[in-house]
Structures are given as C-alpha cells and as structure tokens.
C-alpha cells in the first residue's frame, strides 16, 4: 500500500549502522507515550534532554549544600567564573574566538543589549533592514529600539518579503536593498536561518555588503546555532545572539548567548547598558565607582551567572564538543536530503502534489536541517493525525508543519518511519477531497 519500498528501510538501517554519530542518540531522553518512543522532529523548537543534565545540575546543588556562599570559589566548577566553562565550546559552535562569546540572559534580552551598542541611529542614517515576517519577538525588539531613538518604525524598518512565486527571500534581494538604502542604513539584522521557511541566508555576503554601505551587520542565530556551520569571526559579523533551548538542548527557557566581534570588544567608546558582571573581573569585587569594561564580550554581562540553567547547557555543549560541528553538519545534510526524499515520496504516493509543497530551499547551502511543509488545505488535520501517531513536528500558523531531523539524536530510521506514517495520513485526509 505504501510506496516506500523495502529497500528504503534497508537503506535507512544501513545508513544508521555506518553512522559514527549514532551513539549520541542514546545520550538523550527520547520522549515516550505509553511506553512508545515518539518520532521527535522538534529539536528546532525545544531540543531533547541530554541524560547527563541531571548529574551536572546535581553537582551544583550538592556544592551549594556543602559550601553555601563559598561555592562561588570552592565549588568544583566555581560559580564566580561559571560562564567561563561554557565559553569555548560555544565559541566553536559559532566560529568565534572564545573572548568574542558570552553565555548570558535570554535571547531577546541579548538582542536589546546588542542593539543598544550597535544600533546608534543618526538623523541621516537610521534604517534597519530585516526579513519580512521575522520572528515576532525580533520584530517587537526592532520596532521598540527604533521608537526609543525617536524614529518611526514604519519608515525606518525595511522588511523584505519573498518575490511573487518564491517561498523565501533571496540573498540577492537583501543585497539589493542594502544598496538601495545605503545612505540611510544603520543596521542589517536578520535571522540567520528563518524560523518559518528554514532558509539559511548568505551571512558573509550580507555582512560585507552592510559594511560597504557603512552599516552594521547583526544576526539572530536562534535557528542557526548548532544547526549550520558558522564562521562569525572570519565573516566579520559585528554581533549575534542566539538561544540555547533549540538545537543546543539547553532546556526550556535556558540561558542564551551573544557574540561581539574583536573589532568592537576593545572599543571603550561603545555605548552599553552596564552591570557589575561586565566589569573587568580583576576589579569587580573592589567595586570601583567607574565601570571598567572587561576586554571581551563579557563586558555586556549584567548579572552574575545563572548557574543551574548553565549546568544543563554544559551537559549539551560537552556533546557538541565531542561530536564536532563538521561531522554534525555532514550528517545533517544527508539526513535532511533523505527526509526531503521521503516527504516527496509520501506526497506523490498519495497523489496530493497540488496540496503540499516544501517551502524550504532545495539547495543544501541555503538551509540547515529544517524542512517546512506548506499545505493549501487540511494542514492542521494532517498535523493532528501525525501527532496522534507519535510523529512530532510542529505547527506554524497558518499552514506549515516544520520537521527538523536533528543529526545529534535523530536517525535515518526515524525519518523512514515518519515517511511511512505521513503517507498513511495523507491518503486518509486527501482521499475524500477529489479522488
């Protein structure tokens, strides 16, 4: 009945058995319903829990019990410098020097902190270019920053939408817009991987065009960090922010991160909102009256480190460090290509090509591991039936189901099973319509 041949299952099994990263799956808890593991494709929304999280958090709870306040210096991983332990593995994930990265706060907070420093609009240069339909939190952040500086979001924020007949914004559109607005442009701030379509922008090209126009380039990497190869330092990106609870498995509401290029970290003239943890640690406890910025991205820290969520994140960063982004992205490309194949097979075998399309770019250089499937009708019904059958994608209003086969814990077999169930569901839902 189902058009995926036995050889596909054999293919999936064979790929899993030769996959050097397949050992990592067992380091995560896979959610189960009535004892049956779900097919989890939501790592772009909330990454799964590494089994070691509990141990890492327990260590801090124990040290707190044993040491009280002295744990700041005597805990096995002293809390005074706890963020230091996350710096290097995080820097590797985004292609930065360790002193360019700091783990702190939450994503939207970090976006505001970065914009305070890097969006300094002037009478003639005040515009921001961003992708149309950006994640709402980013839209609110941009608009409120613009308003705070006394400008009008309607005339200051240039939103770019896909051209007619396209499902995503071409990088060339961004470059054209930069050129068109170059005399008024202050900042380009784009989601590196768009949360809705899964499109990966050409970040180095955008950065260099922004710089040529005399503007700053900053990126929201919520859907890019831990998903695609990034070289923020080499690309000369000015700043970036990202959360840790999506591909980085830092746990719900987990602590986020920021990148500031070395071109800026030593600049004493930068405007910033300061707090004691951004002060140079050498003089932090002498409480100097005047703020002495740390000579690194740490200068943007406000408060002392939230150790418990950071402990959860450490457990996951250890796994990333062990696996390495090169190997992860290599597997990601294969796994995503396989998922694309499997989805297309399911759509063809149930004769609903007219109802369904994948809006994510087909070019593997323009996407990470997310595929967004758009429905002309019945999308919500398909989504609900998939969920009932333990296929967990996520629904994005009005008409998209996103699937993210995550290389760290998803298998080729997961993808194969997903294809089987998707075919069944599509046949059920669309059989009545016209066939």
Ligand X SMILES: *Cc1c(COP(=O)(O)O)cnc(C)c1O
CA distance 179 to 385: 47
Smallest gap from Cβ 404 to ligand X, in A, equals 12
Q: How far is the CB of 172 from ligand X (least distance, A)?
A: 22
What minimum distance in Å lies between the beta carbon of 300 and ligand X?
16
Strand order in the sheet with 127-131: 101-103, 257-260, 239-242, 216-220, 185-191, 127-131, 157-160
Instruction: Return the H-helix or E-strand segment holding 102.
Output: strand 101-103
CA distances, 1 to each of 4, 302, 423 (Å): 9, 60, 9
**Of 106 and 265, which CB lies nearer to ligand X in the complex structure?**
106
| Interatomic CA distance for residues 317 and 181, integer angstroms | 40
Question: From the CB of 195, what's the least distance to ligand X, in Å?
Answer: 4
Give the other-Cβ count within 10 Å of 46's Cβ: 17
Smaller CB distance to ligand X: residue 75 or 90? 90
Distance CA 148, CA 151 (A): 7
Residue closer to ligand X, measured from CB, 42 or 213 = 42
Task: Output the smallest distance, CB 183 to ligand X, in A.
Answer: 28
| CB 207 to ligand X: min, Å | 18
Q: Which is nearer to ligand X, 133 or 204 (CB)?
A: 133
| Residue 129 or 390 with smaller CB distance to ligand X | 129
The partner residues of 159 in beta bridges, in order of sequence, read: 130
Q: Residue 407 and residue 266: Cα distance in Å, rounded?
A: 37
Nearer to ligand X, 230 or 356 (CB): 230
Q: Pick between residue 111 and residue 373 the one whose CB is nearest to ligand X.
A: 111
CA dist 377 and 381 (Å) reads 9
- Closer by beta carbon to ligand X, 102 or else 425: 102
Sheet holding 394-396, edge to edge: 356-358, 371-375, 400-403, 394-396
How far apart are CB 258 and ligand X at their closest, in Å?
12
- At what angle are helices 53-67 and 307-323 packed, to 10 degrees? 140
In the complex, least distance from residue 334 CB atom to ligand X, rounded to whole angstroms: 25
Task: Give the nearest distance from C-beta 101 to ligand X in angstroms.
Answer: 17
Identify the H or E element spanning 312: helix 307-323
Which tokens hold the place of 171?
């990088």
| Burial classification of residue 188, based on how many CB atoms lie within 10 Å of its CB (0-12 exposed, 13-18 middle, 19 or more buried) | buried
Phi, psi of 108 (to 5 degrees): -65, -35
| Contacts to ligand X by CB under 6 A | 106-108, 135, 137-138, 191, 195, 220, 222-223, 243
CB-nearer residue toward ligand X: 102 or 415: 102
């Amino acid at each position: 009945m189902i058009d995926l041949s036995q050889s596909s299952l054999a293919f999936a099994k064979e790929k899993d058995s030769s996959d050097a990263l397949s050992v990592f799956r067992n380091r995560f808890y896979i959610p189960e319903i009535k004892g049956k593991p779900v097919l989890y494709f939501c790592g772009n929304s909330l990454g799964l829990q590494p089994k070691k999280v509990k141990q890492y958090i327990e260590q801090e709870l124990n040290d707190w019990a044993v040491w009280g306040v002295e744990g700041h210096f005597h805990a096995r991983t002293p809390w005074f410098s706890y963020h230091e332990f996350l710096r290097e593995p995080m820097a590797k994930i985004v292609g930065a020097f360790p002193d360019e990265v700091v783990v702190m706060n939450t994503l939207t907070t970090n976006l505001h902190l970065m914009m305070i420093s890097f969006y300094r609009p002037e009478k003639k240069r005040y515009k921001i270019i961003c992708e149309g339909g950006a994640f709402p939190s980013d839209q609110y952040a941009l608009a409120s920053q613009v308003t705070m500086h006394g400008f009008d979001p309607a005339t200051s924020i240039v939103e770019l939408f896909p051209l007619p007949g396209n499902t995503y914004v071409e990088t060339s559109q961004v470059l054209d817009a930069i050129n068109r607005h170059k005399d008024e442009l202050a900042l380009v701030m784009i989601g590196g991987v768009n949360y809705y379509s899964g499109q990966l922008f050409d970040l180095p090209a955008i950065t260099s065009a922004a710089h040529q126009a005399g503007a700053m380039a900053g990126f929201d990497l919520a859907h890019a960090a831990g998903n695609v190869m990034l070289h923020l330092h080499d690309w000369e990106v000015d700043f970036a922010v990202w959360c840790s609870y999506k591909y980085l498995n830092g746990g719900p509401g987990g602590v986020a991160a920021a990148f500031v290029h070395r071109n800026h970290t030593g600049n004493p003239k930068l405007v910033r909102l300061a707090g004691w943890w951004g002060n140079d640690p050498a003089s932090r406890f002498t409480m100097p009256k005047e703020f002495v910025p740390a000579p690194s991205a740490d200068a943007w820290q406000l408060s002392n480190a939230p150790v418990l969520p950071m402990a959860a994140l450490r457990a996951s960063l250890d796994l990333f460090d062990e696996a390495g982004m090169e190997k992860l992205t290599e597997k990601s490309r294969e796994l995503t290509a396989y998922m694309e194949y499997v989805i297309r097979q399911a759509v063809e075998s149930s004769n609903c090509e007219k109802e369904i399309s994948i809006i994510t770019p087909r070019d593997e250089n323009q996407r990470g591991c997310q595929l967004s499937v758009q429905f002309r009708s019945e999308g919500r019904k398909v989504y609900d039936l998939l969920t009932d059958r333990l296929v967990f994608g996520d629904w994005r209003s009005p008409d998209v189901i996103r699937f993210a086969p995550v290389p760290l814990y998803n298998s080729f077999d997961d993808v194969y099973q997903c294809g089987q169930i998707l075919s069944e569901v599509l046949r059920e839902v669309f059989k009545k319509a016209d066939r």
